[in-house]
Amino acid sequence: MTATLSALMAVFQVNPVPWARAQMAFTLAFHIILVPLGVSWAFMTLIANYRGLRHNDRDALTLAQRWSKYMAVTFAVGAVTGTVLTFEFGLLWPRFMGRWGEAFGIPFAFEGLFFFTEAIFIAIYLFGWRRLKPWAHFWTGVPIVLAGIFGSISVVAANAWMNAPAGFTLDSAGNVITVDPIQVIFNDSMPWQAAHMLVAAYLVGGFLVASVYATGMLRGRRDRYHYIGFVIAFTVGAVATPIQIGIGDGLARWVYSNQPVKFAAIELVPTTSNDVPETLLGHLNDDGTVSGGIPIPGLASWLSDPSTGRATVVQGLDSVPPDQRPTVRQTNIVHLCWDIMVGLGTLLFLLSVWYAVSWIFRRRMPASKLFLWLAAASGVLAVITMEAGWVVTEVGRQPWIVYNYMKVEDAATANTGVWITFFAVVILYALVGTTTILVLRGMSRRFRMAEGFTDHDTPYGPSELTEASVKSEETVG
């Protein structure tokens, strides 16, 4: 009996590190879909609101009001999933937080302030329809945009610190004894990563919202309301796309200079050399050779430093010991995700060029069905591009959780039952995700049944109250 019980217990005594990684990756991948909406949707709402007030455009004003209610729902769900992520730092990575929490926690303190500011003004903006003067109500939306921007930058600053740790002093035992908050926040990686994520938020948010209206137009909803909704959102995504390409190029060169091993994984470079090809697809073998793919001679070296061109030396994975670089499997994941990010980003750029050319020469959006099909797919493609980018950032840093200071395996919890929380979180998030989609779809359906601008104050869409009953309530009030 004792032997059976011991054998049963042994089954559940699993290595906690891969499970902690998997749970953090899953919750981050889920939450990050909501981040672009939280950052960019308020900006797009204000564009519609401004158009409605400046040009007396009833459709634009209706769009702004409805978007504000969708925005409230996604903000609420994002607050929940973001809170779970915050708790996971302590539950899954207690040794990391125990050693580095004094520095790592600083950006999150600022993020908390921006989060509460955003929440307060979302409430004011949401309940301010017809309760504030039109332009006063419009200006209450501006702090939402600013809080979303600075909140996002604060969170990214924490991640950037993990890639370029700075602003602390260690004693002889390796413990943090002093912290400089300014250097922690404005570490070397922060400007590039913050710009990259912020523009990505507008890119993904724009394409994601536009894809909904493109789908509606494909289903025959060619009214002016859908047209304005598509044009505002898609324009935001299209403008952000070429900017993101420029920022991405700068960030890649920063990685080349400051994280050469990650760069080697991105470019699939097993040994240090010059005239390194840009390998599209392909994979690294266990013996250090590269198989498959389409090599473009010398391009990786040239992109790394155009001043020296193909003579630019790119450090290989072999420049550090095996325990200080990504594994072969991790390297292949990083390289594949890099190809996905660059490939889909290029596709979105070409789609944006098509859209821009149509406006320049025809003064209208492209009318072809092919464009609408691609636009309808652009939301999902943008999300995949963003997810792939974060995989490159996080997996490419392996085995470090704090670059060159602390490895992931030294930071994880020792709790061997962490796999239980993984499955619990997956089930919980599946329910949250399904419920969110059903709520948003239900709102959309009720909005389509409503007649234009409504004065219903909850983020669940218009009710079945008659105009007479609304006026009666206002009279009593």
> How many structural domains compose the chain?
1
Looking at residue 475, what is its pLDDT? 44
Exposed, middle or buried: residue 371 (CB in 10 Å: 0-12, 13-18, 19+)? Answer: middle
Q: Residue 226: inside a domain, yes or no?
A: yes
Q: Which residue has the tokens 């009279």?
A: 475
* Interval 306-323 mean pLDDT: 90
Q: Which helix (H) or strand (E) holds 400?
A: strand 400-402
* Interval 185-214 mean pLDDT: 95
Looking at residue 173, what is its pLDDT? 83
pLDDT digits (tens, 9 = 90+) for 361-401: 988 888 889 999 999 999 999 999 999 999 999 999 999 99
In the predicted structure, residue 7 carries a pLDDT above the cut 70 = no
- C-alpha angle 128/134/135, rounded to 5°? 110
The tokens describing 416, both together, are: 């061997």
Q: Residue 285: inside a domain, yes or no?
A: no
CA distance 278 to 312: 13
Looking at residue 472, what is its pLDDT? 41
The tokens describing 413, both together, are: 């919890």
Looking at residue 20, what is its pLDDT? 92
Question: Among 235-239, 373-377, 428-432, which is the least confidently predicted range?
Answer: 428-432
Looking at residue 214, what is its pLDDT? 95
pLDDT > 90: what percent of the chain? 65
CA distance 298 to 309: 8
Q: Mutual orientation of helices 16-54 and 369-395 as an angle, nearest 10°? A: 140
Query: Which residues span the domain enclosing 127?
Result: 33-256+336-385
Q: Residue 41: inside a domain, yes or no?
A: yes
pLDDT digits (tens, 9 = 90+) for 127-158: 898 888 999 999 999 999 999 999 999 999 99
pLDDT digits (tens, 9 = 90+) for 78-125: 888 888 888 888 889 999 999 999 999 999 899 999 999 999 999 999
Q: Band the pLDDT of 451: cuts 50, 70, 90.
A: low
Q: Mutual orientation of helices 260-267 and 328-362 as an angle, nearest 10°? A: 70
In the predicted structure, residue 8 carries a pLDDT above the cut 70 = no
Q: Residue 124: inside a domain, yes or no?
A: yes
Looking at residue 476, what is its pLDDT? 39
* Interval 192-218 mean pLDDT: 95
In the predicted structure, residue 227 carries a pLDDT above the cut 90 = yes
Q: Residue 47: inside a domain, yes or no?
A: yes
pTM for this model (two decimals): 0.89
Looking at residue 305, what is its pLDDT? 86
Q: Residue 347: inside a domain, yes or no?
A: yes
Bridge partners of residue 291, in order along the sequence: 283
Q: Residue 448: inside a domain, yes or no?
A: no
Q: Residue 366: inside a domain, yes or no?
A: yes
In the predicted structure, residue 466 carries a pLDDT above the cut 50 = no
- C-alpha angle 350/355/359, rounded to 5°? 145
* Interval 426-434 mean pLDDT: 92
Bridge partners of residue 179, in order along the sequence: 168
In the predicted structure, residue 453 carries a pLDDT above the cut 70 = no
* Interval 277-291 mean pLDDT: 89
Q: How far is CA 300 from CA 252, 256, 264, 272, in A?
A: 11, 10, 10, 12
Looking at residue 469, what is its pLDDT? 38
DSSP state of 466: -
